Structure 1
């Protein structure tokens, strides 16, 4: 059982975990052991709440296929159990990340002091620009 939040829990049966052979260089037993983990999680068939499913299916993420399946491959460790734990933690962080609701920003008025500072800076800048212009003759 995987706990996503206080009210949302994933059952272990919802995860399709298979052990595969890891890619890359290895030692003497590299061709005999399957230490890498291939995790598949079908969003539509899961027990997630509907608003979680909708947000996950609407997201464009490289780990989510068009069919609504999250595919995670973990082969960082030499231990199958450590790779399994890493894949599950990546799944949990992905779901939490994509289902987090952003707070609405409350627009506020600028403070009086900040408005004064902005206008003072504009005034100083305009003075500098006028001083850069050509000198005109007033007494001819």
Structure 2
């Protein structure tokens, strides 16, 4: 069971159809004659301004996505691992879902400040006195009474 499952399922916002845009472009890299003719790479663009998400999730998504978010608030995911449009489209959607799920995870619980008990404070001070006495005995002159 993962961390997100233990703390409760993260709420991934609904993505409206008009917020998503797919563009097919030519893949870079090796691929023979096919690479120069067929547009198999997918550029998935999600307009984050159209999503209904909380402030925490928006900040976390911006941190996780980094330079993949444009100044206009559009998240761009490029997928070109596979040789077909369909598999690249599926890959881009899966990567988008993973990114949104990670951003929607609730923040870890913060540490609650506690105060040491009276007994613990006294034991600490007693230990400091003992240590101080040991160090005083190390001096060149005899201890003053």
Q: Please, what TM-score do these two structures have when normalized by structure 2? A: 0.61
Please report the RMSD computed on the Cα atoms of aligned residues, expressed in angstroms: 3.9
8 Å contact kept, 2:12–2:100: no
User: Could you tell me which residue of structure 2 aligns to residue 37 of structure 1?
Assistant: 42
Q: CA deviation at 1:67?
A: 0.9
User: Could you tell me which residue of structure 2 aligns to residue 105 of structure 1?
Assistant: 110
Q: 1:10 to 1:85 in 2, by over 3 A?
A: same
Distance 2:12 2:94 in 1: 18
Q: 1:62 to 1:24 in 2, by over 3 A?
A: same
Counterpart pick for 1:90 among 86, 95, 101: 95
Q: 1:39 to 1:93 in 2, by over 3 A?
A: same
* Number of equivalenced pairs: 126
- Alpha-carbon displacement from aligned partner over 1:101-125 (angstroms, at most 9, x marks no partner): 203324265999xx7xxx7xx99xx
Q: CA deviation at 1:43?
A: 1.1
Distance 2:83 2:116 in 1: 58
8 Å contact kept, 1:57–1:68: no
Relative contact order, CA 8 A, sep 6+: which one is greater?
2
User: Could you tell me which residue of structure 2 aligns to residue 17 of structure 1?
Assistant: 22
Distance 2:18 2:70 in 1: 20
- Alpha-carbon displacement from aligned partner over 1:78-118 (angstroms, at most 9, x marks no partner): 12111111111111222222233203324265999xx7xxx
Q: 1:54 to 1:42 in 2, by over 3 A?
A: farther
Post-superposition, which runs of at least 4 consecutive aligned residues in structure 1 deviate over 6 A? Answer: none
User: Could you tell me which residue of structure 2 aligns to residue 66 of structure 1?
Assistant: 71
Q: What runs of 5+ residues in structure 1 fail to find an aligned partner? A: none
